Amino acid sequence: MCWSKKVRPCKDRETFGTGFTFRTETDREEFRAALIALQYRVESSPSNNNSELPNGICIVRFQSVKPSELDDAVIELFRLAKKYCGDYDGWETQVISQ
């Protein structure tokens, strides 16, 4: 089990990460360029040649993790990914034990 009994309290702002996949490198790069205005940082750009959408990108931003603000961020990113023929792969935030 990966849950710890000692978990630091959730703060109002955390590092929020999310992943996407794209059919072409060009789509991924155009998506990457659009992220700059939204203050995201690219953490990695993995490739998986055995996938229909082989060009991945993982991004992070320090932001509010309040449910309504997190929902807004995810919806914004989901729509942006669709604009560049991408697929949303989910979000995560780090939990650090004390």
Three-class SS of residue 17? strand
pTM of the predicted model as reported, rounded to 2 decimal places: 0.75
> φ, ψ for residue 2 (rounded to 5)?
-100, 5
Q: What is the pLDDT of residues 78-90, one digit of tens each?
A: 999 999 999 998 8
Q: Span 59-79, mean pLDDT? A: 88
Three-class SS of residue 66? coil
Q: Is the model's pLDDT at 14 over the cut of 70?
A: no
13-90 carries CATH number 1.10.730.10: no
